[in-house]
Amino acid sequence: MMKQNKAVNENHKKKSLNPKDWELATLEVIANQGVSAVAVETIAKVLGVTKGSFYWHFTNRKDLIVAALKRWRDEDNKIIKQRVLSVSDPYKRLKTWFLLSSEPLQSHLIYATLLADRQHSYVSKVLKEVTVERLKYLQQCYQDIGYSETQAKQQSLLAYSVYVGYLHMTKTLHGQFKHDTNVEQYVKHVAGQLIHPPESLSIELSPLNSDL
């Protein structure tokens, strides 16, 4: 009954695989190489089995990916609920979100690669839904601060764009996440720019008003 799979080297006892094993391995692939890199035979090899196993647990490749993404989404929602939405003060809540966004979590990697592989309809569907969800609670934060609905919409879109952009920039520039002091300082800088009371929105300090 002993086995040597599930992760590559975990010689625990486990007689057989379950869908969760496949989904977790799939998320690992998605996080690092994207949805298009999800190949059943490859993942099977990682799990120490062959295709025969896979098609017993899932009907096809798409089924696997959809299940994996569902798992990712649920997991992500759980984290947000626990660590962000639980903060009552909206300023602190926003700052917490920004800090969380800069943490090197697999969840972020997955989101970033989903942005890439959105040519698949089942990917873009999840992506859009998750994005809308996230924008919603960000908007709520800004409304809690005192922003009007319109202002909060724009500001949350801006804040979220920064998040998405940050994900890409770190990948593009380092090829990897680097969670060092520079990142911390940058997040502070960003938060300082994007978290402030609504009154400061109308305060235009730049000479742009007179020009454009």
Look at residue 161 and give the partner it binds from its own copies, DNA, none, a contact being a CB closer than 5 to 8 Å depending on partner kind: its own copies
Q: Given the complex with DNA, which of 80 and 114 has the nearer CB atom?
A: 114
What residues contact 120, with CB distance under 8 A and at least 6 apart? 35, 65
Binding residues among 46-65 for DNA as defined by CB under 7 A: 48-53, 55-57, 59-62
Residue 50 half-sphere exposure, CB side, CA atoms within 13 Å? Answer: 1
Helix (H) or strand (E) holding 206: none
Look at residue 51 and give the partner it binds from DNA, its own copies, none, a contact being a CB closer than 5 to 8 Å depending on partner kind: DNA
Look at residue 98 and give the partner it binds from DNA, its own copies, none, a contact being a CB closer than 5 to 8 Å depending on partner kind: none
Q: Does 38 sit near DNA (CB under 7 A)?
A: yes
Q: Does 32 sit near DNA (CB under 7 A)?
A: no
Phi, psi of 13 (to 5 degrees): -90, 130
Binding residues among 11-30 for DNA as defined by CB under 7 A: 15-18
What is the distance between the alpha carbons of residues 184 and 198, in angstroms, rounded to a whole number? Answer: 25
Let me know: does 5 contact 45? Beta carbons within 8 Å: no
Q: How far is the CB of 113 from its own copies (least distance, A)?
A: 9
